[in-house]
Structure 1
């Protein structure tokens, strides 16, 4: 056995040595990950978050409730104060002594919720146009905004006339009146609604400014409160720039929350064209860039 051991060891070494020299098959290559198909580019819509907030955020409804409840808590005191008037000096063209009391409310985004129309624009990638807007109004499906029905009914119950001043086109008058009544907002008659076609002799209306219609109200009523989502619902803004808007509101800031009640509207309004020189004829991309340029980062 001792003689055979070197032979066995040598044979084993030879076999191992040969085995170590046999080329190995290359390892299988790991397949490269398959790239997911690229999603089609969807252009960002500047109004998506604004409309989503308007329709879904509880905070939106609470702001409206807070505003209208605050107004209701002050209404009877304003009614008793014979010196109380909520019209700007330029619009008070007749003495208010002895006149019946009234409140003035804008309609869209003040008492009626048109966010479904805005949602359609977001889904379709479109922009406001009069034909689609008129079609929506004639559906008479706008809901009342939180607190609006309760406040206006309270006012009417206490002998305060409820007047609506809106920039809806004249051919939408009947649909608007019907929509207001459907949701429970008090409408004493056609005279309670002053749409865009309302004319006051001797008063030159500039664009959609509401000053002539406020002046018409001033001939018949002492106005206790005004409600709206735009500066133009309260006072004339003759220069729709940042400086012009601030100047128009400056004399009346103490009235906010007492005589004037401003409601939130992030989806549209005169604040937007003020950011791009009021030039709606500019391409959409150019208007968007000017809005981006208006943002402050410090």
Structure 2
């Protein structure tokens, strides 16, 4: 199933029609979330977003074809994130914006229970190719255990490979993926990671400041496009958490101040 191009107005109607909890509130004061409007429009409506997704997965496919010819001690595997990497959560992202309340675990589980996510452009073909090449596919996601059954059902409906509890490793005690990566490495040689967040890659990006994350990227720049494939997502991620010093309890006003301070610091360097 290929990713469909759907206008934001149509997506909004799908979201509102599909789950009453995402009903838009005309009088809501969006405040902090107003800053996400352009990013959401770009992610769900722009051809540029879709082009970059295809570009990333085209690069991933070509790199994987070269890797299968190299000898490894263990069977080869690829590890992918799920949200905004394999599955396009338009209903969740738009719903969080329309309610004016932002992300919540409860709303995301409600969205995932509908099992209506569609593939990110190019993801389904890449996964099909990986299986054809004899490379095992694992998904390491920070979805919660409550979402696992819905995730498996959704991915099976889309015909995505290895959509089962053995290959989908969801969040347990920590959002840090290191332990789950190590679990896969017990039996497989991971030849590629695909994600939309630096924390999807095994370099220790977790809970680092944005300046540190950028420095760390520069030390492994040769891995991007070959061993590490990153999917564009400007709507959410740990880059945002780093802006707020990972303090998600801050008020909208404090988060806006943090955003502005970060931009001013960059401008004045």
| TM-score interval (norm. to shorter) | 0.7 to 0.9
2:116 counterpart SS class:
coil
TM-score, length basis structure 2: 0.83
Structure 1 residue aligned with 2:42, among 53, 70, 86?
53
Residues in 1 aligned to 2:52 and 2:155: alpha-carbon distance in whole angstroms:
21
CA-atom RMSD in angstroms: 1.8
- In 2, the alpha carbon distance for the partners of 1:181 and 1:231 equals 27
- Structure of higher CA gyration radius: 1
Q: Give the conservation status (yes or no) of the 8 Å contact 1:166–1:193.
A: yes
Higher helix share: 2
1:136 aligns with 2:111: yes
Q: Please name the residue that 1:212 is paired with.
A: 179
Q: Which of 123, 131, 151 does residue 126 from structure 2 map onto?
A: 151
Mapped partners of 2:205, 2:89: distance in 1: 24
1:194 aligns with 2:169: yes
Cα deviation code 1:125-175 (max 9, x no counterpart) = 111111111111111111101000000001101111111000111121111
Aligned counterpart, 2:21: none
Determine whether 1:287 maps to 2:262. Answer: no
The Cα offsets for residues 44-63 of structure 1, whole Å up to 9 and x where unpaired, read as: 51111111111110110010
Superposition pairs of residues 53-202 of structure 1, within 5 angstroms: 53-82=42-71, 97-187=72-162, 189-197=164-172
User: What is the distance in 2 between the residues matched to 1:234 and 1:120?
Assistant: 28
Q: Which runs of 5+ in 1 are unaligned?
A: 1-39, 83-96, 198-204
- Aligned pair count reads 237
Is the 2:28–2:100 contact (alpha carbons within 8 Å) kept by the matching residues of 1?
A: no
In structure 2, C-alpha distance between the alignment counterparts of 1:72 and 1:196, rounded to whole Å = 27
